[in-house]
A and B are shown apart, each in its own frame.
Chain A
Amino acid sequence: ETGVTQTPRHLVMGMTNKKSLKCEQHLGHNAMYWYKQSAKKPLELMFVYSLEERVENNSVPSRFSPECPNSSHLFLHLHTLQPEDSALYLCASSQDPDGLTGELFFGEGSRLTVL
């Protein structure tokens, strides 16, 4: 079992749908992240939660809504998305949210396609 698990692995949705991505980490970490990976673009940080509080929101559109109910779970709620939101959404966790040396542990991602 991987340390960070994401579901679903693949999701196809229409622009009017509401869906959620789920991330669970089994590593005892205290920080979790959502990244967006689009084709031919660097990974983009979307949200950071440290000790279940949001500490970073990189000007992400409101159609993306994160939720962190506890230190092990992270959700990304999706509604009225656009086709350009189609991407691989990666969840990550770390134990060192304020330092330089804490590596990130990533899940395998959720591949989202918006029709």
Chain B
Amino acid sequence: AQKITQTQPGMFVQEKEAVTLDCTYDTSDPSYGLFWYKQPSSGEMIFLIYQGSYDQQNATEGRYSLNFQKARKSANLVISASQLGDSAMYFCAMSSIQGAQKLVFGQGTRLTINP
């Protein structure tokens, strides 16, 4: 079975600082995908970034980058130059090649950016 672990229930960061949100995973599948989603107070889950298990390079999307360390089974999200609008819940998720798209989510990290 797949499992995602996010060990930081809450993080507080000063505006313009970089922040790293931790995510570790467990799976026996040879191929898998790793995702990060942002959930602001409105409730909508917003896709941020994707990393495939066979991708050689770490994924980047604007201010977001994914620090993928396959041997350690970690997929940390790095947000550079944080902004007040980055305050939200952040979820790490994993997909399997088996069957339909089935994302397994972690419990989330609440990020608060202080001015």
A interface residues with partner B (beta carbon < 8 Å): 2, 31, 33, 40-43, 45, 48, 50, 55-56, 88, 90, 92, 94, 96-109, 111
Contact = CB atoms under 8 A, between A and B. Distances in A.
A85 B108 CA distance: 20
A101 B52 contact: yes
A98 B45 contact: no
Interface of B: 4, 31-33, 35, 37, 42-47, 50, 52, 91, 93, 95-97, 99-108
B52 A45 contact: no
A48 B52 contact: no
Judged by DSSP, the binding face of A is loop
Given A92-B45, A101-B52, A55 B99 contact: yes
Given A43-B91, A48-B102, A105-B47, A100 B107 contact: no
Nearest 4 A/B pairs, CB to CB: A106-B45, A100-B33, A109-B43, A43-B105
B102 A45 contact: yes
Contacts of A48: 100-102
A107 B44 CA distance: 5
Contacts of A111: 43
Contacts of A96: 101
Contacts of A41: 107
A33 B101 CA distance: 9
B100 A56 contact: yes
Contacts of A88: 43
A3 to B, nearest CB: 10
Contact of B100 (A42, A50, A101, A109): A50
Contacts of B91: 42-43
A88 B42 CA distance: 11
Contacts of B99: 55-56, 98
B88 to A, nearest CB: 13
A99 B45 contact: no
Contacts of A107: 44
A18 B47 CA distance: 33
Nearest to B33: A100
Contacts of A55: 99-100
